[in-house]
Amino acid sequence: MSVAAASPIKITVVTDKARILPANAKERPFPLEWTRNIGIAAHIDAGKTTTTERILFYSGAVHKMGEVHEGTTVTDWMEQERERGITITAAAISCAWNASCGPWKGIKQRINIIDTPGHVDFTAEVERSLRVLDGAVAVFCAVAGVQPQSETVWRQANKYKVPRVAFINKMDRIGADFFRAISEMREKLKANAHPLFIPIGKEENFRGVVDLVQNLAYIFDETTDPMGMNPVTSEIPADLKEQAKEYRDKLIEAVSDFDDVIAEKYLNGEDIDVDELMLGVRKATISLQFTGVIPGSAFKKKGVQRLLDCVVNYLPSPIDVPAMVGQDTDGKDVEAIVNDKAKMAGLAFKLWTDPFVGKIVFFRVYTGILPKGMSVYNPRTRRTERVSRLVLMRAMDREEIEKAYSGDICALVGVRDVITGDTLCDEDFDIRLEPPSFPEPVISMSIEPNSKADQEKMGTALQRLVAEDPTLRVKTDTDTGQTILAGMGELHLDIIRDRMKREFKVEATAGKPQIAYRETVLKPADGEGKFIRQSGGKGQYGHVIIKLEPNQKGKGVEVVNEVVGGAIPKEFIKPATEGILEGANNGVVAGFPVVDIIVRIVDGTFHEVDSSELAFKMAGIFALKDAMKKANPILLEPIMHVEVTTPEDYQGDLMGDINRRRGQIQGVENKAGACIINAYVPLEMLFGYVTDIRSLSKGRASAGITPSHFEQVPNSLLAKIVETSSKAPART
């Protein structure tokens, strides 16, 4: 794991009497340094939503704890979420917390929380949430430890340089092991993870935590305090004092790498006071090179208040992280420095269609103030639009506000021509912020309306759903006229169909899912394309010569102009390039998109009268097809990483099933009485897999499936896939 170098840390310890920094507007309800924008992210079923519910309860944002299994949670508000017990869309909600210790003790901090999905099919929700957050809480299951989607979320947080703390949840479960989970974080995530607390007991005997920073214990008593509102503060139990000292020394040693004062005192054997150590942990966390770990059980209402203390004390405020960098129209870097008095700029990171108010745009304000009624400029469309209303989101509820300040996460109503990733700013502030990036779809299916009336409604529904979800693609097959939906997995497409039915009243029939294959080449080749038409009058003439070669994995299609001597005039290079890119949408093996190639335009000829942009575009298409046929083209299929957790009794059956699916088993390990099988399996062989393994294991096995990479389709299957694809409508 590569981590960003430690950046200068700006830590502002404030009191209620001296709360205004120069960057704050006087009318702000919460100063910047008292604001935390965090996300709750993890593998599916690690307990993110339950943790969020407990945070809202203890902070006073709600007066009754919701439960996932009862369908009463605040952040899982969609019907599908409550029915299935999973999070589908990221929900934003705000609360406030008074830390019980440290420099911020007694000062109410605003915490803006985004609860993200854990299922890989909805990874775009995590991606765009982390893009606009200042910090994150990574939730891990104390039994399962680091799971495949945990690794994906961790990589996403590294990508956007988001500091984080870790919450090892479900310490009350049989097989829970706090220290093994930390060991897995170090091994699998390459994280510099250290306990900030250690558990008192585990499984059914989990009854408290030892605070290594403050050197005291918090004891939970379910009989006298069933809601966990008032844990008892006490001395560290005698049988844990030695272990607590060992881990506190390790914590101080780790933090001394980030704080010179602590390092000097540590080397000299001097005592380090609590506030000094807290600030040291904060510096280390914000540097991205340290992760503090907290044990707890959200379901049993144990340890969540300590997690909230850690969010306030250790995760950054908007002023503690480097300024967001965008680009101006000349491509030069421009900083959006967090300051209420600067010009306004922010990022639209999510769209949602509300049946009552229309399009809602989730927006992070990076600099300046956004008042209701302001006209904002969109650099992508080069147009201004008026923000008619501003709201703070409370999951599905909304609170009207007059202004949004630097560092705020809010929602805009009234702007129309906005897509995910758009920058909205003052008209005289030339900046375009980097949008979040999203993975390509791996699966597609045809969808047909059941009636003429549904046909019209389906178009509207799909238009809105695609605007909301950047990983959902819709196209019309030119051969059959069918509408093709492409997404991240079976569950993703199933939810989309369900939403069409419930929200837009569209009845539709879905075809069998199709795999999003890709094509590439194995060797270099030359290609030539000519487009010549003579019809009596002005003709058409375009002639392009290219060199094609394989590119690095993940690089896509690159086109390079190497024409010299004016063999092709400059005005025809662009259409020739467009033709090559268009040709790459349909390969020569089975008509699937081409990836990971470099195309060099090296020569060609033109006609002074007959040459046109259209002719050179067509010549570019023909040249690519010609070169592809000579370059040993191959078909690639998506390979998924599958992690199966099963009782040992069913290990043999499930491994045999993976082998029958053309899977490659990478390793088997035993953890807490369960067997964990890691394998790579072609997506084509995984339709209905979760249902099948439940049958094989009598409902006791579970599987996590995440996209991994593309591999060449075996020759024994190629003819069948080519034949099937020639009949199927799906091309993604």
Per-residue pLDDT tens for 420-464?
888 999 999 988 988 877 777 777 778 888 887 788 788 888 888
Asked whether the domain spanning 636-712 has the same topology as the one spanning 444-515, the reply is yes
Pairing of strands 135-141, 164-169: parallel
Amino acid present at 368: G
Amino acid present at 474: V
Q: Specify the pLDDT at position 731.
A: 43
Q: Specify the pLDDT at position 75.
A: 45
Q: Which residues contact 726 (CB under 8 A, 6 or more apart)?
A: 590, 591
Mean per-residue pLDDT, 312-321: 91
Strand pairing partners for 358?
354
What DSSP assignment string belongs to 330-341?
TS-EEEE---TT
Q: Provide CATH code, domain 444-515.
A: 3.30.70.870
Q: Which of 397, 412, 358, 351 is nearest to 77 (CA)?
A: 397
Task: Tokens for 346, please give them.
Answer: 């922010």
Highest-confidence range of 107-116, 341-350, 478-487, 694-703, by mean pLDDT? 341-350
Contact present, 345 and 423 (Cβ < 8 Å):
yes
Whole-angstrom distance, CA of residue 371 vs CA of residue 385: 13
Q: Is the pLDDT of residue 543 over 90?
A: yes
**Cα dihedral 614, 616, 617, 621 sign:** positive
Percentage of the residues of the chain whose pLDDT score is greater than 90: 34
Which residue ranges make up each domain of the chain? 32-320, 329-433, 444-515, 523-631, 636-712
Residue whose pair of structure tokens reads 């969808």 in the numeric block: 447
Mean per-residue pLDDT, 376-404: 83
Helices (H), 428-469: 452-468
Whole-angstrom distance, CA of residue 465 vs CA of residue 477: 19
| 3-class state of residue 713 by DSSP | coil
Q: Is the pLDDT of residue 732 over 50?
A: no
Q: Specify the pLDDT at position 649.
A: 84
| Per-state percent for the chain, helix, strand, coil, to nearest 5 | 30, 30, 40
Contact present, 278 and 252 (Cβ < 8 Å):
no
Element housing 617 (H / E): helix 613-630
Mean per-residue pLDDT, 700-708: 78
Task: Tokens for 490, please give them.
Answer: 């079976």
Upper half-sphere CA count for residue 478 (Cβ side, 13 Å): 4
The fold adopted by the segment(s) 32-320 is: Rossmann fold (3.40.50)
Confirm whether pTM is higher than 0.75.
Answer: no
Task: Tokens for 503, please give them.
Answer: 């929200």
Highest-confidence range of 353-357, 381-385, 721-725, by mean pLDDT? 381-385
In CATH, the architecture of 636-712 is: 2-Layer Sandwich (3.30)
Element housing 375 (H / E): strand 375-378
Q: Is the pLDDT of residue 536 over 70?
A: no
Contact present, 225 and 231 (Cβ < 8 Å):
yes
Q: Is the pLDDT of residue 281 over 90?
A: yes
User: Which is the CATH superfamily of the domain at 329-433?
Assistant: Translation factors (2.40.30.10)
Q: Specify the pLDDT at position 17.
A: 37
Tell me how far apart the 2 most distant CA atoms of the chain are, in Å.
100
Q: Provide CATH code, domain 523-631.
A: 3.30.230.10
